[in-house]
Each structure stands twice: as structure tokens, then as C-alpha cells.
Amino acid sequence: MTDRLPHTLRSDALDNRERILDAARALFSADGLDVPMREIARRAGVGPATLYRRFPTKQVLVAEAFADLLRACRAIVDEGCADPDPWRGFCLVIEKICELHARDRGFTEAFMSTFPGALDVAGRAYTLRSVAGLARRAKDAGHLRSDFVLDDLILILMANKGIHTGSVATQVIASRRFAGLAIQAFEACPQHAPLPPAARLASAAPDSA
């Protein structure tokens, strides 16, 4: 009995940690980062003392909750930068980053530094620096408009965060369409490629509109 107790306690502590992170991700995704810590504890089924013992500040909790998404964001940028066609790589980054953020509005807030230090600063800086380098290559190739600046990417993420629909699936569809529009705006010589399908956001609008 005595020999098994420490293992049981470690297992319980691990379960509590995962429940807290799952609750935080769900609430941050639905309501943003302003969710009270007590509400996260309630959703996780733990007491506030347990929550603060594992995550002493909201910044620490946000960083842990979105660590996987930040790695996914970095992987998307790496994939785009690895494409020998910088414009195609740039478009891929815009499309996939917008979709990633559309699935979790809390991640967008964290990435945009709503809570200073909430995310790995080095990882976020690497992502932005890599996109800036990819944009320079796309400009040099004559595909990206010459007046594009990195702040335009931040502007796109801010606008993308404003997409709110009745379901995540519809939100992703709308985000893909939005990304298509943004890409056409960024193109130096627009080819007007077909846009992704439109999300049904205005059900009362005429079908011919």
C-alpha cells in the first residue's frame, strides 16, 4: 500500500493537469483569454488551489494550453518556406494559418500578445521572421505586391479572428474564403483564381447575390 501511494498521487496530479489544460483550451477557444481562472477550475472539476498549484498565473496556463498550436503554426511556416516557389509557399502559409486561427480564437489572442509572455517569445519571433523572409522572396519573384509589410499579416489575423459562425466547420469554410480574398489582394498581378466555396453566413440573402 505504501509503495503504491506515490505513483497514485503522481497519476492523479497528471490527470488534474490534463483536465485543466483541456478545460482551458475549450474555454479560450470559445470565449477568448478573458475567461476567469475560477471558471477554468470549475470546468476542469478541480479546486482553485489545485489550478494555481499547477499553473500559478494565467500566462503560464495560456503558454501550456497553446504550446502545440504554436508548434503547428511554426510547422506551417516551415512548410511554406521550404517550397521552391515562394509565392506558392506564401499562399500556403496564409491559407493554413488562417484556418488554424479560425479553429481557435484564443490562440489568435495569445499569438497577438494579448497577454505579454503568454507564448514562447522565441517561437513567435521565429514564425514572424520566417514569414518576412518568405515575403521578400515572393516580392523578388514578382508575385507579391511590393508594398506588402508584415503588419498586413497581423491585420489579416485580426480580421480572421472576427469570423464568428454557428459552428467551427462553418467558421473554417468562411476563413478559407477570406484567405482566398486576402491572397488575391496581395498578388502583384492578380490572376483572379477561383475562390474557395462561400460559407452560408447570410441565409436570408438571395441565392443569386
Dist CA 66 CA 44 (whole Å): 17
Residue 144 backbone dihedrals phi, psi, to 5 degrees: -95, 135
**pLDDT value of position 206:** 45
CA distance 183 to 160: 13
Residue 2 has pLDDT above 80, yes or no: no
Cα dihedral 33, 149, 159, 141 sign: negative
Q: Tens of pLDDT along 41-55?
A: 999 999 999 999 999
Half-sphere exposure of 66 (CA within 13 A, CB side): 35
Helices and strands, counts by H and E, the chain: 10, 0
Q: Are 24 and 66 in contact (CB under 8 A)?
A: no
Rounded Cα distance between 125 and 145, Å, is 23
Closest CA to 98 of 171, 30, 148: 171
Mean pLDDT of 90-95: 97
Question: d(Cα 25, Cα 103) in Å, to the nearest integer?
Answer: 11
Please give the pLDDT value at position 103: 85
- What integer is the mean pLDDT of 102-116? 74
Average pLDDT, the chain: 85
- Tell me: the pLDDT tens digits for 147-196? 999 989 988 988 998 888 888 899 999 999 999 999 999 999 866 667 67
Q: Distance (Å, rounded) from C-alpha 139 to C-alpha 130? A: 14
> Is the pTM for the entire model greater than 0.85?
no
Distance CA 20, CA 40 (A): 7
Number of residues in the chain: 209
Task: Classify domain 67-186 by CATH architecture.
Answer: Orthogonal Bundle (1.10)
What pLDDT score was predicted for residue 204? 42
Which range has the top average pLDDT, 1-10, 33-42, 155-164? Answer: 33-42
User: What average pLDDT does range 60-85 have in this prediction?
Assistant: 93
Q: Which three cell numbers stand for residue 194?
A: 477561383
What CATH code would you report for 5-63?
A: 1.10.10.60
Side-chain half-sphere of 71: how many Cα atoms within 13 Å? 6
Q: Determine the pLDDT at residue 130.
A: 95
Question: What is the torsional sign of CA 157, 83, 120, 172?
Answer: positive
When comparing pLDDT for 21 and 197, which is higher?
21
Mean pLDDT of the region 28-35: 84
Domain boundaries, the chain: 5-63, 67-186
**CB of 127 closer than 8 Å to CB of 74:** yes
